[in-house]
Amino acid sequence: MYFDGRPKETREDLYDREEELQTLRSSLSEPIVLLTGIRRIGKTSILKVLLNEVDIPYALMDVRLPLASYRSLYSTFSEILTQLNRKERVKHVLQGIKGVSVFGLSVSLSWDRDSRTSLIQLMDRVCGVGRAIIAFDEAQNMRGKLGYEVLALLAHSYDYCKNISFILTGSELGLLYDFLRLDDPSSPLYGRHIEEVRVGRFNADRSLDFLERGFQQYNMRAPRDTLEYAVDKLDGIVGWLTEFGHRCVRIGEVRKEVVDEVLELAIRTVQRELSRFSKLNLAVIEAISNGYERWSEIKEYLERKSRRPVYDAELRRHLASLEKRGYISRIDRGKYAIVDPVVKNAFSKNQRRTQV
């Protein structure tokens, strides 16, 4: 069913994405592939469908929480080895290594400084067993304290483990590239070629078709003008279109007001994500959404809202952070745009919403 809110796992439930799946599949001969796109665009769904379709043992890790300690790093790799062991026995190559315990199908790695083993050594052993895919969902979260360990592992695997492919997804493209540091000579991955498959939004025709077919699956009547309104506001971002469909199914009717509810939800989601950093970030989003796109206009807007001077360095920091997180992009000298059209639509009618 298209309007099921969880990431899709089978092609039957996945609308379109033939091209992305095809490209990804042919990129599996590469050591590292990136699957990128804005939030709610369908990355995890494409990844899961692909992994279910290819006949290669895989491990899929959601790394929404940063790897802040050896404990979390080694727990992540314990889980990876356990998942692989369930699909293709790898335990025989792990047995006897210091710091590795195997209980039934579960593999457990010690993170203790004196007994932990090298992840590179483990990867070499796993590589010897045969083909495997290791996927990290939202991989930009691996940057930080222990990111270097993962980078070193990726670089080693790139050079020596022909059997293993890594797929890294990321919504925050700038941060993902910050993590990989491909252009930094001191990075283990410096100069390596990495494939990137970008997931885009559906065009208006595909979006309408997606909604029509989705409602047909529930035998629901969907007035054309309501669907057009939905596509106008929610654009071709499949996650928001799905949320709209899902909510209509729940109330048993396709209504325009549900579109507005979904926009409200989009605002709350962005607020939740950004308020961790600074309220001023939200006000920047609001400014740009409402057409204050130039540096000077954004600055003026923020000063008006916060009733205090906003320093250039402060604004620069906020703009850089929002750009890295994939919320805004620089379209011109001194001019910015909101990347996600739903965020733009949601915030453009909420000028007085953010308190700073």
Ligand X SMILES: Nc1ncnc2c1ncn2[C@@H]1O[C@H](COP(=O)(O)OP(=O)(O)OP(=O)(O)O)[C@@H](O)[C@H]1O
The residue ranges that bind ligand X (CB under 6 A) are 2, 4-8, 14-17, 37, 39-45, 171, 238-239, 242
Q: How far is the CB of 267 from ligand X (least distance, A)?
A: 15
CB of 217 to ligand X, least distance (A): 11
Nearer to Mg ion, 78 or 140 (CB): 140
Which of 274, 254, 253, 250 lies closest to 346 in space, CA to CA?
Answer: 274
CB 42, min distance to ligand X, A: 3
Q: Which residue has the tokens 């939800």?
A: 265
15 vs 77, which CB is nearer to ligand X? Answer: 15
For Mg ion, which is the closer residue by CB, 63 or 109?
63
233 interface partner picked from Mg ion, ligand X, none, CB below 5 to 8 A per type: none
Tokens coding 233: 């506001």
- Position 268, amino acid: R
The helix (H) or strand (E) run that includes residue 109 is strand 106-109
Within positions 26 to 45, which residues make up the interface with Mg ion, using CB under 5 A? 44
Number of other CB atoms surrounding residue 265 within 10 Å: 16
Q: Residue 45's binding partner, choosing from Mg ion, ligand X, none, with beta-carbon cut-off 5 to 8 A by kind?
A: ligand X
Q: Give whichever of 102 and 168 is closer to ligand X, judged by the CB atom.
A: 168
Shorter beta-carbon distance to Mg ion: residue 169 or 289: 169
Q: Is 85 exposed, middle or buried (0-12, 13-18, 19+ CB in 10 A)?
A: buried
237: nearest Cα among 168, 130, 338: 338
What residues have CB less than 8 Å from 335, skipping those under 6 apart?
293, 294, 295
Q: How far is residue 265's CA from residue 249's CA, in Å, rounded to a whole number?
A: 17
Alpha-carbon span 76 to 74, nearest angstrom? 5
Report the nearest approach of Mg ion to the CB of residue 137 (Å): 6
Q: Which residue is nearest to ligand X (CB)?
A: 42
The C-alpha atoms of residue 8 and residue 47 are separated, in whole angstroms, by 9
Q: Cα–chain-centroid distance for residue 320?
A: 19
Q: Which of Mg ion, ligand X, none does residue 141 bind (CB under 5 to 8 Å by kind)? A: none
User: Which of Mg ion, ligand X, none lies near 99, with the C-beta cut-off 5 to 8 A by kind?
Assistant: none
Q: Of Mg ion, ligand X, none, which one sits near residue 238, judging by CB under 5 to 8 A according to partner kind?
A: ligand X
Q: Which helix (H) or strand (E) holds 315?
A: helix 312-324
Q: What is the DSSP string of 235-261?
A: TT-HHHHHHHHHHHHHHTS--HHHHHH
Distance CA 251, CA 217 (A): 15
Per-residue interface string for the shown chain with Mg ion, residues 42-61, x marking contact by CB under 5 A:
--x-----------------
- Contacted by 157, from Mg ion, ligand X, none: CB < 5 to 8 Å by type: none
Closer of 42 and 188 to Mg ion (Cβ): 42
Contact 26, 159 (CB under 8 A): no
Q: Which does 201 bind (CB under 5 to 8 A by kind): Mg ion, ligand X, none?
A: none
Q: Which does 42 bind (CB under 5 to 8 A by kind): ligand X, Mg ion, none?
A: ligand X
Q: For ligand X, give the closer residue by CB, 72 or 269.
A: 269
Shortest approach of ligand X to residue 45 CB, angstroms? 3
**Residues in the site for Mg ion, rule: CB under 5 A?**
44
